[in-house]
Structure 1
Amino acid sequence: MGEVWAGVRERVLALREAPNRRAVFGAYFMESGHRFELRPVLTEEQVDAVERRRGVTFPAEYRSFLMEVGAGGAGPDYGVFTVEPPEPESESESESEPVPEAELDPGVTSASGAAASEPDRALPFRPERTAEWEEHQAAEPQWSAYGDSDEDGERFRAAYAAWDKRDDELLESLTEGALYVSEQGCAYYTLLVLTGPERGTMWQDVRAAAEGVIPFAFLGSTDRVTFAEWYVHWLTRAERLAWQAPEDRTDG
């Protein structure tokens, strides 16, 4: 993977001195933003430890990114989530147990998601679940379909409770088999698929907009995008904008 990431770390860090760097979205936001900083790279042994700890197997492009570019930091939107290797003394204990599901929320600073090197831990990524969830949403019980009696009210509440329980299950399942890698803002996230036919491709969690989980695509294209394509595309655009003198900036 050396040819994929050759010079990328240096290009990113160089943007800290670019004259128009503050114009790049996500780089500077109030007191936060990634500021074109990158975490140190991980060793192969550390990446192995992260995979064992979390019960995951990373796609090759992401794995090599961690070892050649950085374990998080500058990147698309508000940056790439940080991956923290486990402490050496905890590795032997964690080899047999994946991280509990409750710890795999988006927005944490370490890699999160679900997939596994062992079949019994694998959670398949199922993009068809978004259509299933949308159908379920359309079937939400409506009070107007029930009568006005106390018995009708009980039937409605029971039907709604069952619908709501299934809605939560479907919503949770939409991101199974995927890794949260970046936050877009407004509760939207970017995912890397770890399992199934879509493994290695980028998707968007836009459940906040009631759109489920959809493929990430470049403007004007419907082609699937890999992690390296996603990251290098951002870097190329960031360089084009950041290295302009502020007075020379043009839109488009």
Structure 2
Amino acid sequence: MTDQRWVGVRQRVEAAGAGPGSSKVFGAPGHKWVVEEPLTRGELAELEAQTGVRLPEDYRSFLLHVGAGGAGPAYGLFPVRRVQGRWRWEGDGADLADLSRLAEPFPDQGPDPQRLTELLAQRPQEEDFDAIEDFDDAIEAWDERWEAVMFAPERTAGAIVICHLGCAQREWLIISGSHRGTIWSDCRVDDVDLVPLLNEDGTPVRFDRWYTDWLKTAECTALSAP
């Protein structure tokens, strides 16, 4: 039975892609308004068996009734595909997700605040070095320590990357744990920690709202006269 929340969504995306202002929608050159074919129930079952976890209901329903990926927020919804007999998500940074850990709960807490404070206090300052080469070496070593904390693999267990916004900024869909089904922003490249996207009322944004809000906004631009 078709999930009512997705009725007509694929057709709306196709209509927006044919609209006079479609090229003005942010990220459109990336996804080109293409929506991949939906997964069959057998393919979805195979994907979930491989990852060892049932995907959030609204997302799995999207995969069945709209498409396996393609046109969507930012540069597009990362498609899930079978490659050499194994399922995986594909896109810029999709490999940051450890597919062998999707059944593990996404952690509730970020890095130890005290450890972050100490690391920030240790960040080299250019004025403390006589030679720019010495400063460059010191900041490179510090960056490695910082990234080891911020990008520790266990911090994104139970989650997949589903789109990128450019400049190494991405968004994640939480698959397991207390935050299951919510979307998180990842701007760690700019030293901003992982945070959940929030609705106007402060509740976490879930996949269906994330996608349909994008579509409504995209339609306003795409279907407007040039």
When normalised by structure 1's length, the TM-score is 0.71
Alignment gaps of 5+ in structure 1: 145-160, 247-252
> What is the rounded CA distance, in whole Å, between the counterparts of 1:49 and 1:36 in structure 2?
27
> What is the rounded CA distance, in whole Å, between the counterparts of 1:113 and 1:61 in structure 2?
22
Contact (CA 8 Å) 2:81, 2:90: kept in 1 or not? no
The alpha-carbon deviation at position 115 of structure 1 amounts to 7.1
Which among 16, 39, 42 is matched to residue 39 of structure 2?
Answer: 42
Which among 201, 205, 222 is matched to residue 202 of structure 2?
Answer: 222
Identity among equivalent positions (%) equals: 33
Cα deviations across residues 33-55 of structure 1 (Å, max 9, x unaligned)? 11111001110110111122233
- Partner in structure 2 of residue 107 of structure 1: 92
The alpha-carbon deviation at position 128 of structure 1 amounts to 1.1
Contact (CA 8 Å) 1:124, 1:177: kept in 2 or not? yes
> What is the rounded CA distance, in whole Å, between the counterparts of 2:91 and 2:3 in structure 1?
29
Cα deviations across residues 150-186 of structure 1 (Å, max 9, x unaligned)? xxxxxxxxxxx9x966961552222111111111111
Cα deviations across residues 167-225 of structure 1 (Å, max 9, x unaligned)? 6155222211111111111111111111111101111111111112101124x542211
> What is the rounded CA distance, in whole Å, between the counterparts of 1:50 and 1:111 in structure 2?
18
Q: Could you say what the CA RMSD is over the residues aligned between the two structures, in angstroms? A: 3.1
> What is the rounded CA distance, in whole Å, between the counterparts of 2:222 and 2:150 in structure 1?
41
The structure-2 alpha-carbon separation of the partners of 1:16 and 1:69, relative to structure 1 and needing over 3 Å to count, comes to same
Contact (CA 8 Å) 1:20, 1:243: kept in 2 or not? yes
> What is the rounded CA distance, in whole Å, between the counterparts of 2:62 and 2:10 in structure 1?
9
1:84 is paired with a residue whose SS is strand
The alpha-carbon deviation at position 21 of structure 1 amounts to 0.7
Matched, 1:68 2:49: no
Contact (CA 8 Å) 1:56, 1:115: kept in 2 or not? no
- Bigger-Rg structure (1/2): 1
The alpha-carbon deviation at position 123 of structure 1 amounts to 2.0
When normalised by structure 2's length, the TM-score is 0.79
> What is the rounded CA distance, in whole Å, between the counterparts of 1:46 and 1:216 in structure 2?
30
Name which structure has the greater RCO, CA cutoff 8 Å, separation 6+: 2
The alpha-carbon deviation at position 111 of structure 1 amounts to 10
